């Protein structure tokens, strides 16, 4: 991954971050300690599974972590990966894992950020971007 692809991920994060502390980037705070093409974000109040279902024909992303645990009956279960990163159930239910590849272009990232913001607002998350 080159610096251009890394900057895509930070563009998404910057676009989604809001002053209401509703969005957080999961994992190490240093970009050097992260995978260069992958970003894990949590949006408080978002149902990431619902977002993915509604946007499945427009957005390729994953809910939770690569080892996502899903639900135990009616109660969401936080994956061991998210638990190890200190992500609570409240945040884990709104976690999205986003990646870019060698064929990703800036417009793809801008569109993904806009779609995520639009769906978050549709779910009642008070993001003001």
Range of the domain at 103: 3-122
Among the listed residues 19, 67, 86, 128, the single catalytic one is 67
Q: What is the CATH number of the domain that holds 90?
A: 3.90.1150.10
For residue 129, is it within any domain? no
Q: Helical H runs in 45-105?
A: 48-54, 80-84, 89-92
In a domain, 54, yes or no: yes
In a domain, 128, yes or no: no
* Inside any domain, residue 37: yes
Render each residue's pLDDT in the chain as its tens digit; 129 residues. Answer: 555 556 666 667 767 766 668 888 888 877 778 777 888 889 999 999 999 999 999 988 888 654 445 555 555 567 778 888 888 888 888 999 888 888 888 888 888 888 999 999 999 998 776
**pTM of the entire structure?**
0.79
Q: Is residue 84 part of a domain?
A: yes
Is 3 assigned a catalytic role?
no
Overall domain count for the chain: 1
**CA separation for the pair 48, 92 (Å, rounded):** 9
Which H or E run contains 25?
strand 23-25
- The reply to whether 65 falls in a domain is yes
Q: Tokens at residue 59, please?
A: 């957005």
Distance CA 94, CA 55 (A): 15
Q: Does residue 100 fall inside a structural domain?
A: yes
């Amino acid at each position: 991954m080159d610096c251009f692809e890394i900057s895509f991920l930070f563009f998404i994060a910057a676009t989604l971050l809001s002053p209401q502390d509703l969005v957080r980037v999961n994992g190490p705070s240093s970009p050097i300690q992260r995978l260069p093409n992958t970003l894990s974000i949590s949006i408080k109040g978002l149902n990431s599974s619902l977002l993915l279902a509604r946007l499945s024909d427009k957005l390729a992303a994953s809910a939770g972590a690569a080892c996502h645990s899903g639900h135990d009956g009616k109660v969401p279960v936080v994956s061991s990966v998210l638990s190890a990163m200190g992500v609570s159930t409240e945040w884990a239910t709104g976690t999205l894992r986003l990646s870019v590849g060698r064929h990703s272009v800036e417009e793809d990232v801008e569109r993904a950020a806009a779609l995520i913001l639009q769906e978050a607002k549709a779910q009642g998350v008070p993001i003001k971007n």
